[in-house]
Amino acid sequence: MGHSAAVWDYKAAVEVTKDWNGIDQVMLRSPRGSSARVSLHGGQVISWRNNQGEELLFTSNKVSFSFSFHFNYEAIFLLDDPDVLSYAVAIFKPPKAMRGGIPICFPQFGNCGSLEQHGFARNRVWTIDENPPPLHPNDSKGKSFVDLLLKPSEEDLKCWPHSFEFRLRVSLTSDGDLVLISRIRNINGKPFSFSFAYHSYLLVSDISEVRIEGLETLDYLDNLGQRERFTEQGDAITFESEIDRVYLSTPNVIAVLDHERKRTFVIRKEGLPDVVVWNPWEKKSKAMMDFGDEEYKQMVCVDGAAIEKPITLKPGEEWTGRLEISVVPSSFCSENLDPSLGP
């Protein structure tokens, strides 16, 4: 693909550019005007805009703050403030993942294991996969897409001694829906297990006006209470304080309603039995260096995931996890959700 624009058809294009650290980013555009930006740092979707150019994914403003510092690097030293300098470097010095977008959590979610928080995939530089194995025809409908590849480094093998190939396709449909398809193959001589999540930061108008439908009556693990198991009692999930839960055996379709913006995120998934719901609320927001004190009001994480029962692959086996996010008018509600429907 190189660093020039590659046109997949006469309207949709894929363009590769470089970010402030010299790492490639891929811009995807759909025929009707939506777009997505994918960083090869982490294979992370860092922007998704609708046909009107409105951003749909949350990224912390602290990210923008660091951008300005990077582009004005000399200004940091002119400020002669070591606290400001260390702050800027701490947030953006590679290989730290950006706070927001859709980081890939693999081969571990959270800190429930021996690896770094959420595993190492989100902190590695991926490559563009020029010749990926063919996908199922139903997964090839993206008008604009990029295939990425991650293989373990020597350092990765020291902390997680399993050989794998991780192929990620990010695509936009002709309607502007965002689709992520992960294929993880065991090329090791013995079985291995992993947990996984698309850690999706959705941009909302006001978290107090958000409701999530499709998870009612389900069991969940409460990460705020030593992963104790509870059953959801509400007819929908609403937010009045910090929430950090893993919902189990979830349906294939979940709706995230943003009443103020009068729109609904519809999440369709396959191979991902669990759903993580997270909002840090006020106290935790103030404790995170790469997150604004009030930014919890504009975001919610709703992740398609495989956590409670890790995925186990025998030598040569491959696992696929698929996530599709679309945005529809807010008249869409859980009455439209059919748990039997696939993505």
Feature table: binding site: 99, 117, 122
- The CATH number of the domain holding residue 120 is 2.70.98.10
Residue 269 resides in a domain:
yes
In a domain, 3, yes or no: no
* Partners of 257 in the β-ladder: 211, 264
Determine the average pLDDT of the residues in 291-319: 95
Q: Which residues line the annotated binding site for substrate? A: 99, 117, 122
Q: Identify which of 44, 50, 10, 52 has the alpha carbon closest to the alpha carbon of residue 26.
A: 44
Domain count, the chain: 1
For residue 110, being part of any structural domain is answered with yes
The answer to whether position 31 is within a domain reads yes
Residue 322 is assigned to a structural domain of this protein: yes
In a domain, 266, yes or no: yes
Q: Which two tokens stand for residue 293?
A: 């004190």
- Region 240-244: what's the mean pLDDT? 97
Handedness of CA 27, 48, 170, 62 (dihedral sign): positive
Which structural domain range is residue 331 located in? 14-60+98-335
**Whether the Cβ atoms of residue 271 and residue 306 lie closer than 8 Å to each other:** yes
248-289 pLDDT, tens digit per residue, is: 999 999 999 999 999 999 999 999 999 999 999 999 988 888
Tens-place pLDDT, residues 92-118: 445 566 789 999 999 998 776 566 666
Residue 19 lies in a domain: yes
Determine the average pLDDT of the residues in 320-338.
77
Percent of the chain with pLDDT over 90: 63
Do the domain assignments include residue 90? no
Contact 36, 43 (CB under 8 A): no
Return the pLDDT at 333. 52
CB neighbours of 149 closer than 8 A, spacing ≥ 6?
Answer: 126, 127, 128, 129, 132, 165, 166, 167, 168
